[in-house]
Amino acid sequence: MTDPKDRVLIFDTTLRDGEQSPGATMTHAEKLEIASLLDEMGVDIIEAGFPIASEGDFNAVSEIAKHAQNSVICGLARANLKDIDRCWEAVKHAERPRIHTFIGTSPLHRAIPNLDQDQMAELIEQTVTHARNLCDNVQWSPMDATRTEEDYLLRVVEIAIKAGATTINIPDTVGYTAPIESADLIRMLINRVPGADQIIFATHCHNDLGMATANSLAAVEGGARQVECTINGLGERAGNTALEEVVMALKVRNDIMPYHSGIDTTKIMNISRRVATVSGFAVQFNKAIVGKNAFAHESGIHQDGMLKNAETFEIMRPEDVGLSETSLVMGKHSGRAALRSKLKDLGFDLADNQLQDVFVRFKALADRKKEVYDEDLVALVSEQTSEGEDAIKLLSLAVACGTDGPQTAALKLMIAGEEKDVEVTGDGPIDALFNAVKQLSGENATLQLYQVHAVTGGTDAQGSVTVRLEENGRIATGQASDTDIIVASAKAYINALNRLILRRQSGNPGSDLKTVSYKSVS
């Protein structure tokens, strides 16, 4: 029988810390979808957002709280009563709500609100007590804990526990620590802080030095029983600890790390793909667990070994993380029932109207491609538009390009119900295309990212295009796939524009933490 003390709680912050990545901001519907997938896969705690950051974030956290089936739903709040009250208003609808409040305790972070050690200690006691009076599940974090003086860290952790915190999270906010330090820090706090044996210690690591997963696992070895992480390691700068890496490391190396999580690992690939799509952050090919090459073998020696015994070069089975063993099974003669069954195998359970939409696009793709792979189907399902009615729609596109210029794009759009067309030249077909969209729409957002990658192999592969636009601090990402990368580029650019227009109309700033300042903690 498994010892409950060996259970590691998985705290997912994809919707909060992950979404803070510039350009990764998700729509309301996308947040609800990702939260539902996290809930289904067995995530213990979902940090659904930062309710005070914007009305949109508050509404998303509230909706997630109302619909969660299993997970604890957590909101983030700075160390002030207004933040904490707003957080409680959002999470109180959950069956199992949690308030997570924090303040930066290192010398660098104490200087931001200009508080000395005693003033900050008093504020911590006041705010944690207030949170506990509202909710019996309170998490407290000393931000930048790994660069906080040891004696002061001991002092404030003790204050937070006495004030009612039930979880103490120790963040490595800037990815500064190393595994041996991470383990020793948790061990020291457990051994020296009165009341430490009555609460759960958590670890929250960033990947600035590429050690986030190693630091998190070391913290578990030191006594932490909650790991804060994100899908695909999404997060600010170099990202956060990757959920899939921690979970699979505990599963594969249970011989030396005798701990376990409650995650259904067969759901990992599906949610990884969805987070990559809605965030616009493609997963690098050599990413551990979920990268395209994670279960691919090209070396002759490796291929020979795999044919004889897969365990020679794979330490886990593709099925363990939700990869299907076969990829080519669909074609232009496949029907709706076959498509529905295949999509279900890939983790997509679509309603009839959704299936019909995908089926139409699948048939069109099958007529253009000799072979339709799993990745092609995932790209079809994942192709999203803005919520509500799009302000701009692509009607037709013709591009002239070659060594003898100029490169020209003839574009026709539907804008607010009116057909408009234009022919524009540019420095290459993509530049001409984007110039044409700008001229017709009157939008002049700055292009921050243009990225193309092939969904599968072959000259008839779909090209998946990601476009990120910025306007007055608002950031929106669009993504689209097509066998013609020019068409995919047009769809992705227009998709990003529609999201930007939607954010402008709703007043959503786009990147949540840009709307708040640490100075309001005092």
Q: Counting Cβ atoms within 10 Å, is residue 112 exposed (0-12), middle (13-18) or buried (19+)? A: middle
Picking from 7, 17, 15, the residue whose alpha carbon sits closest to that of residue 212 is 17
In the predicted structure, residue 298 carries a pLDDT above the cut 70: no
In the predicted structure, residue 520 carries a pLDDT above the cut 60: no
Tell me how far apart the alpha carbons of residues 165 and 151 are, in angstroms, rounded to a whole number: 19
- Reported as a single tens digit per residue, the pLDDT across 466-506 is 888 888 878 888 888 888 899 999 999 998 898 888 877 76
Question: If pLDDT is split at 50, 70 and 90, which confidence band does 21 have?
Answer: confident
Tell me how far apart the alpha carbons of residues 241 and 182 are, in angstroms, rounded to a whole number: 13
Q: What domains are defined for the chain?
A: 4-279 (3.20.20.70), 300-382 (no CATH), 392-506 (3.30.160.270)
Name the range with the highest mean pLDDT among 170-174, 269-273, 314-318, 378-382: 170-174
Residue 337 contacts by C-beta under 8 Å, 6 or more apart in sequence?
none
Q: DSSP characters for 377-429?
A: HHHHHH----SSS-SEEEEEEEEE-SSSS-EEEEEEEEETTEEEEEEEEESSH
CB atoms closer than 10 angstroms to residue 504: 16
List 61's β-bridge partners, or say none.
none
φ, ψ of residue 483 to 5 degrees: the values are -70, -20
Question: If pLDDT is split at 50, 70 and 90, which confidence band does 130 have?
Answer: very high
Q: Supply angle C-alpha 455, 28, 357, rounded to 5.
A: 50
Helices (H), 92-178: 107-110, 117-134, 150-163
CA torsion sign for 219, 225, 231, 237 is negative
323 touches 291 (CB < 8 A): no
Tell me how far apart the alpha carbons of residues 234 and 239 are, in angstroms, rounded to a whole number: 5
pLDDT score recorded for residue 362: 84
Q: What percent of the chain has pLDDT over 90?
A: 58
β-pair type (463-471, 474-482): antiparallel
477 touches 466 (CB < 8 A): yes
Q: Counting Cβ atoms within 10 Å, is residue 218 exposed (0-12), middle (13-18) or buried (19+)? A: buried
The mean of the pLDDT values for the chain is 87
- Reported as a single tens digit per residue, the pLDDT across 404-440 is 778 899 999 999 888 999 999 999 999 999 999 999 9
Q: Counting Cβ atoms within 10 Å, is residue 183 exposed (0-12), middle (13-18) or buried (19+)? A: buried
Tell me how far apart the alpha carbons of residues 367 and 93 are, in angstroms, rounded to a whole number: 48
In the predicted structure, residue 7 carries a pLDDT above the cut 50: yes
Lowest mean pLDDT among 175-179, 346-350, 437-441: 346-350
pLDDT score recorded for residue 332: 72
Tell me how far apart the alpha carbons of residues 165 and 445 are, in angstroms, rounded to a whole number: 44
Average pLDDT rounded to a whole number, residues 262-277: 93
β-pair type (463-471, 446-454): antiparallel
pLDDT score recorded for residue 296: 67
Residue 416 in tokens:
């607010």
pLDDT score recorded for residue 389: 65
Alpha-carbon separation of residue 154 from 31, 102, 238 (angstroms): 36, 16, 29
| pTM for this predicted structure | 0.79
pLDDT score recorded for residue 387: 46
Strand segments (E) across 210-328: 226-229
Residue 488 in tokens:
């995919």
Average pLDDT rounded to a whole number, residues 44-58: 95
515 touches 54 (CB < 8 A): yes
Residue 517 contacts by C-beta under 8 Å, 6 or more apart in sequence?
none
pLDDT score recorded for residue 506: 66
